[in-house]
Amino acid sequence: MADDDRSPEDEFQEMLRNLLGQGGSLGPEQLERLSAMGVDPAMLQQMMHHLQGAFAAGGDGGVDWSATRTQALHLANKDGHGISAGDRQDFSEAFALATLWLSEATTISDLPTPPRALTRGAWVEATLPVWQELAEPVATSVADALTAALESQAPEEMQSMIAGAGRLMRTVGGSLFAAQLGAVVGKLSLEVVSGGDVGIPVMPDGEAAILPQNFADFGRDLGIDDEQLALSLATRELAHARLFRHARWLRLHVISQVTDFARGIHVDTDALEELASRFDPSQPEELRQALESGVLLPQRSEAQAAALTRLEHLLATIEGWVDVVSADATTRLPAADRIAEAVRRRRAVGGPAEQAMASLVGLELRPRRLREAAAMWRAITDAVGADARDSLWDYPDLMPTPADVDDPAALIGRLQARARGEAPERDEMDDALDALLASAAAGDDAGGTTGEEPGDARGRRDDGPEGPTPV
């Protein structure tokens, strides 16, 4: 193909190849063209150096998550500390004893795979798929908005080239976000103590882990011996992993609510265009800081606020159960209450990396009603025992509602009635279900196609309790 026959995208890609060091240095003609546009080639090359991976991936319009992995592992492994044989043995013994104690406090069964001690890098590798899933909607929004902003701010001389390279520019924008996500996950690996430390199920199903590299930082100012700390944290981690292993629906429930929230995020294009208008290629840190600070994410919509409220209730309900079960399992530890309080405060405040994650994806993963949820689970445990309490995780519709957290008495009453074999009190859902069934039966009677007497269906319903399974 002759040079004159090249498409704008082909021309733009060739320039990018040269800028990224994949086709030699810029030629005199290209240097002259960039200078005429008021662009410093050296500064542009510096700014786009870290985008080599994205361009090499082919520019298919998707997000190149390899930058996330590379950046996260770089930060996680920079200290080069591994796990000593002594630490592995200590945490293996802590997990073994915690398993026995936990089996006395809950009816939810043990994990199929043994828990383990993980390095920071191994934690990154294990959890990265979930972080990518959570960030995907935001990354797409950032990439699309960046493309639009660059097109609007480009000199007139470059409009034809940029217009034909939209797919590639979206890949570039996605790469910028992916690299920033990697930085946040890498910093998070320096803070988390266990697999379930962030509240959401980031570890693979049925796996539990502790990060010995961060364990010492957690207990540094508590004045509690390492053995008690290890036993307490091992118990919490096992309880968290057991719950998600038992309630198979729960993992998907949490992740889907987080992603539903994230899909409602839209980048503030005005803020991004303003940033693009004054962006100095010699200072690429400004874009990174803008992503990390959350300045590009506008205020939450009403729908997002409602989604966040539902998510916070779900996380609080999970963490409250873990609190109560762990407390019952660790009654033999003199410092159990102090450790539990330290964990609650840590979850309520969050560390710097968790705050950075909140700014990046617009979501704070903190259970704001943790203490109220724990009080509810304690009341349920005292009233009906561990069996009935844990059965509430068997199905999604059995899980306590926000109203139950506010006042557990009604839920406890239903559980006690069920234990006595009594029919549950009717509620609005029962009435609505009966009305629906009656309407369907009336339609069958009118059509005469069921082959049954009109009373058959009603008769069968009379044989057992009406409405949904009592809770």
Is residue 316 domain-resident?
yes
Is residue 413 domain-resident?
no
- Do both 53 and 191 map to the same domain? no
Domain termination residue (choose one: 58, 86, 105): 58
The pLDDT, as a whole number, for residue 242 is 96
- Do both 234 and 265 map to the same domain? yes
Sign of CA dihedral 44, 45, 50, 54: positive
Confidence of residue 7 (pLDDT cuts 50, 70, 90): low
Confidence of residue 276 (pLDDT cuts 50, 70, 90): low
Is residue 377 domain-resident?
no
Average pLDDT over residues 157-166: 58
- Do both 330 and 353 map to the same domain? yes
- Do both 200 and 269 map to the same domain? yes
The pLDDT, as a whole number, for residue 136 is 82
The pLDDT, as a whole number, for residue 29 is 65
Answer left, alpha or beta for residue 467, where phi above 0 means left and psi between -120 and 50 means alpha: left
- Do both 46 and 103 map to the same domain? no
- Do both 316 and 244 map to the same domain? yes
Is residue 100 domain-resident?
yes
Q: Which of 141-150, 416-425, 445-454 has the highest mean pLDDT?
A: 416-425
- Do both 52 and 78 map to the same domain? no
- Do both 139 and 11 map to the same domain? no
104-113, 289-298, 373-382: range with lowest mean pLDDT: 289-298
Domain termination residue (choose one: 330, 361, 392): 361
Tens-digit pLDDT profile for residues 84-97: 889 899 999 999 99
Is residue 387 domain-resident?
no
- Do both 54 and 81 map to the same domain? no
Q: What is the mean pLDDT of the chain?
A: 76
- Do both 19 and 159 map to the same domain? no
- Do both 96 and 154 map to the same domain? yes
Domain extent, residue 38, equals 3-58
Q: Which residue has the tokens 């762990």?
A: 326
What's the structural domain count of the chain?
3
Query: Is pLDDT above 70 for 385?
Result: yes
- Six token digits for residue 239: 């309880």
Confidence of residue 216 (pLDDT cuts 50, 70, 90): confident
Nearest-Å Rg of the Cα atoms of the chain is 28
Is residue 348 domain-resident?
yes
Query: Is pLDDT above 60 for 26?
Result: no
pTM score, two decimals?
0.73
3-state secondary structure labels for all residues of the chain:
CCHHHCCHHHHHHHHHHHHCCCCCCCCHHHHHHHHHCCCCHHHHHHHHHHHHHHHHCCCCCCCCCHHHHHHHHHHHCCCCCCCCHHHHHHHHHHHHHHHHHHHHHCCCCCCCCCCEECCHHHHHHHHHHHHHHHHHHHHHHHHHHHHHHHHHHCCHHHHHHHHCCHHHHHHHHHHHHHHHHHHHHHHHCCCCCECCCCCCCCCCCCCCEECHHHHHHHHCCCCCCHHHHHHHHHHHHHHHHHHHHHCHHHHHHHHHHHHHHHHCCCCCHHHHHHHHHCCCCCCCHHHHHHHHHCCCCCCCCHHHHHHHHHHHHHHHHHHHHHHHHHHHHCCCCCCHHHHHHHHHHHHHHCCHHHHHHHHHHCCCCCCCCHHHHHHHHHHHHHHHHHHHHHHCCCCHHHCCCHHHHHCCHHHHHHHHHHHCCCCCCCCHHHHHHHHHHHHHHHHHHHHCCCCCCHHHHHHHHHCCCCCCCCC
Is residue 398 domain-resident?
no
Q: Which of 10-24, 234-248, 339-353, 426-440 has the highest mean pLDDT?
A: 234-248
Is residue 140 domain-resident?
yes
On whether the CB atoms of residues 234 and 141 are closer than 8 A, the answer is no
β-partners of residue 209 are 116
Tens-digit pLDDT profile for residues 393-444: 999 999 999 999 999 999 999 999 888 877 666 566 566 667 777 777 776 6
194-208, 233-247, 295-309: range with lowest mean pLDDT: 295-309
- Do both 304 and 237 map to the same domain? yes
Domain termination residue (choose one: 342, 361, 380): 361
Of 171 and 183, which is predicted with more confidence? 183
The pLDDT > 90 percentage for the chain reads 32
Average pLDDT over residues 221-232: 90
